[in-house]
Amino acid sequence: MQRASRLKRELSLLTTEPPPGITCWQNENQLDDLRAQILGGADTPYEKGIFNLEILVPERYPFEPPKIRFLTPIYHPNIDSAGRICLDVLKLPPKGAWRPSLNISTLLTSIQLLMAEPNPDDPLMADISSEYKYNKQLFLLNAKEWTEKYASQ
């Protein structure tokens, strides 16, 4: 019950006051199956891209973080080909930084920040990470290409 009322409140806030560049909604009226879109940030290789994400809310939410993954392919050192995201707030402690005080809006904003500022020192994709570190121009070119190919409307 607590989970349902909290999710309803969060979704209502996401609808009335969404973070800039982020939208989120229920998938087919399932309260624990959400979809989100993040717009690629200006001055990033993801600019003008629209990235779709899947958010599965576990039974134990907010004591357990939602499972979030990209449905749109993205060329990024911290996001793998299955769309899984390497981000501390998406994991429970001790390895992660999830806290029940966080919410879906905060998570989506964190993912948006990660898109703009990759963390090559904690990669899911080692090859993309070393490209980001040692050949940034090539990384930016590849990320732009992927954005045009998969994320433009």
Render pLDDT for 39-93 as a digit per residue (tens, 0 to 9).
Answer: 999 999 999 999 999 999 999 999 999 999 999 999 999 999 999 999 999 999 9
pLDDT at 10: 96
Total of domains in the chain: 1
pLDDT mean across residues, the chain = 96
Strand partners, 24: 36
Rg (CA), the chain: 16
Structure tokens at 111: 């993912």
- 10 Å Cβ neighbour count for 121? 9
> How confident is the model at residue 29, as a pLDDT?
84
pLDDT computed for residue 31 by the predictor? 86
Are 79 and 87 in contact, with CB atoms under 8 Å apart? no
86 is an active site residue: yes
76: how many CB neighbours lie within 10 A of its CB? Answer: 26
Q: Which residues pair with 107 in a beta bridge?
A: none
In this structure, of 27-31, 85-89, 124-128, the range with the lowest mean pLDDT score is 27-31
State residue 24's pLDDT score. 97
Per-residue pLDDT of 92-101, as tens digits, reads 999 999 999 9
CATH number at residue 26: 3.10.110.10
Q: Domain range holding 81?
A: 1-151
Name the residue with higher pLDDT: 25 or 31: 25
Identify which of 46, 74, 70, 38 has the alpha carbon closest to the alpha carbon of residue 144: 46
Catalytic residue among 79, 86, 107, 151: 86
